[in-house]
């Protein structure tokens, strides 16, 4: 019983300590576009939640001057800056530093477009806050960068992880679990692709609220199953996974739109972001399944104890649902 109480407590701590960044820690985004031999337009997006903005700033080599070109603006998840960058030498081979990056848990995605058509896509991390800018990025560089972004997105997307965990609990048996996870993967891959390619889209805030509500629904279904009342969800969890997975795909797309895509490599970046999401999901499923198997070895848990994970999941998701609905007006 102590084990389940600890699990429930951990769920509560996780939910209430991460509510400010309940979806995930999104990367900052730096876009640099060359407009003349020595001039560049710079777009700089820093993650925010409410009034809380991470203190980061791009620093270029001393022979470059960065000046703010217009008033900063707010998007749903970021503070947006527009700069002009002037230099007396070429940008390739110069040093880029993200000030204060080493003090955070945030990555920085960098996309650069030169007049000659060369493109750069790279990522800076807290343990690597500076880099010498190359002149061109290979397709492998794009694939690697967006795979890492996909893995980080799912592993720091606590609402998606909680949804997958609920699916694991309600999907009894390996065959049923495989069908359920496959259905969820297929569904969110479809809507992620449709949204990024402009075929279909949904507004972000309502999507995030319903994603949280989908977790509440699964928590209620788990409680019914533990009480011995089979439901359509417990019999065919793959059906629910596919239905809600379509919605989760729009959530992934919202994060990817905030991150940004290299315009000349959109299909490649999209494909490897999706692959990264699936790799992160597989890692989580393996770890969570292993932990659940160890707990299942003790078969004499009381009904109340068995229901603790479901109540913990439901409580966290309910909190997120209310928080996101309230966010519509504030």
Per-residue pLDDT tens digits for 131-181: 888 766 678 878 888 888 888 888 888 888 899 999 988 887 788 888 998
Q: How far is CA 50 from the centre of its chain?
A: 18
Q: How far lies 190's CA from each of 56, 70, 232, in Å? A: 34, 37, 24
143 part of a folded domain: no
* Pair (121, 170) in one structural domain: no
Selection from 10, 11, 15, 8 nearest residue 301 by Cα:
8
Terminal Cα distance for the chain, rounded: 41
32 part of a folded domain: yes
pLDDT for the residue numbered 305:
63
Domain end: 89, 105, 137, which one?
A: 137
The CA distance from 83 to 8, in Å, is: 47
pLDDT for the residue numbered 21:
43
Sign, CA dihedral 251-254-259-260, equals positive
* Pair (15, 95) in one structural domain: no
* Pair (276, 179) in one structural domain: yes
* Pair (9, 34) in one structural domain: no
Please, are residues 164 and 225 in contact by the beta-carbon 8 Å criterion? Answer: no
124 part of a folded domain: yes
pTM above 0.85, yes or no: no
pLDDT for the residue numbered 3:
44
* Pair (15, 46) in one structural domain: no
* Pair (216, 281) in one structural domain: yes
55 part of a folded domain: yes
- Which residues of the chain have a pLDDT value below 50? 1-6, 8-10, 12-13, 15-23
* Pair (215, 318) in one structural domain: yes
208 burial level (CB within 10 Å; 0-12, 13-18, 19+)? buried
* Pair (44, 193) in one structural domain: no
* Pair (12, 36) in one structural domain: no
CB count within 10 Å of CB 175 equals: 9
142 part of a folded domain: no
282 part of a folded domain: yes
The CA distance from 264 to 243, in Å, is: 32
* Pair (294, 225) in one structural domain: yes
147 part of a folded domain: no
* Pair (133, 213) in one structural domain: no
The CA distance from 72 to 11, in Å, is: 37
* Pair (196, 60) in one structural domain: no
Please, are residues 169 and 310 in contact by the beta-carbon 8 Å criterion? Answer: yes
Domain end: 82, 105, 137, which one?
A: 137
Domain end: 103, 137, 171, which one?
A: 137
200 part of a folded domain: yes
Selection from 157, 178, 180 nearest residue 167 by Cα:
180
pLDDT for the residue numbered 299:
59
pLDDT for the residue numbered 306:
67
Q: How far is CA 304 from the centre of its chain?
A: 33
The CA distance from 250 to 248, in Å, is: 5
> Domain range spanning residue 36?
28-137
pLDDT for the residue numbered 22:
46
The CA distance from 21 to 15, in Å, is: 10
Count of domains for the chain: 2
């Amino acid at each position: 019983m102590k084990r389940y109480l600890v699990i429930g407590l951990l769920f509560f701590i996780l939910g209430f300590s991460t509510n400010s960044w309940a979806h995930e820690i999104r990367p900052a985004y730096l876009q640099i576009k060359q407009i003349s031999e020595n001039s560049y337009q710079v777009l700089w997006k820093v993650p925010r939640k409410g009034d809380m903005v991470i203190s980061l700033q791009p620093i270029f080599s001393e022979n470059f001057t960065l000046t703010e070109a217009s008033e900063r603006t707010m998007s749903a998840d970021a503070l947006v800056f527009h700069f002009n960058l002037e230099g007396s030498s070429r940008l390739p081979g110069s040093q880029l530093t993200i000030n204060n990056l080493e003090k955070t848990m945030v990555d920085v995605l960098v996309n650069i477009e030169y007049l000659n058509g060369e493109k750069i896509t790279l990522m800076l991390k807290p343990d690597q806050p500076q880099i010498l800018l190359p002149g061109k990025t290979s397709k492998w560089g794009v694939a690697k960068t967006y795979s890492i972004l996909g893995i980080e997105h799912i592993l720091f997307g606590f609402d998606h992880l909680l949804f997958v965990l609920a699916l694991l609990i309600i999907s009894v048996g390996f065959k049923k679990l495989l069908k359920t996870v496959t259905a969820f993967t297929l569904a969110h891959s479809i809507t992620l692709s449709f949204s990024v390619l402009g075929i279909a889209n949904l507004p972000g805030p309502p999507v995030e609220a319903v994603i949280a509500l989908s977790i509440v629904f699964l928590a209620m279904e788990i409680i019914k199953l533990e009480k011995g009342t089979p439901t359509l969800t417990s019999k065919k969890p793959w059906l629910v996974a596919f239905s809600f997975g379509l919605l989760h795909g729009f959530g992934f797309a919202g994060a990817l739109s905030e991150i940004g895509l290299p315009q000349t490599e959109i299909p490649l970046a999209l494909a490897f972001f999706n692959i990264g999401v699936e790799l992160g999901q597989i890692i989580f499923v393996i770890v969570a399944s292993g932990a659940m198997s160890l707990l299942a070895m003790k078969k004499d848990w009381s009904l109340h104890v068995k229901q603790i994970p479901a109540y913990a999941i439901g409580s966290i998701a309910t909190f997120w649902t209310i928080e996101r609905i309230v966010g519509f007006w504030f």
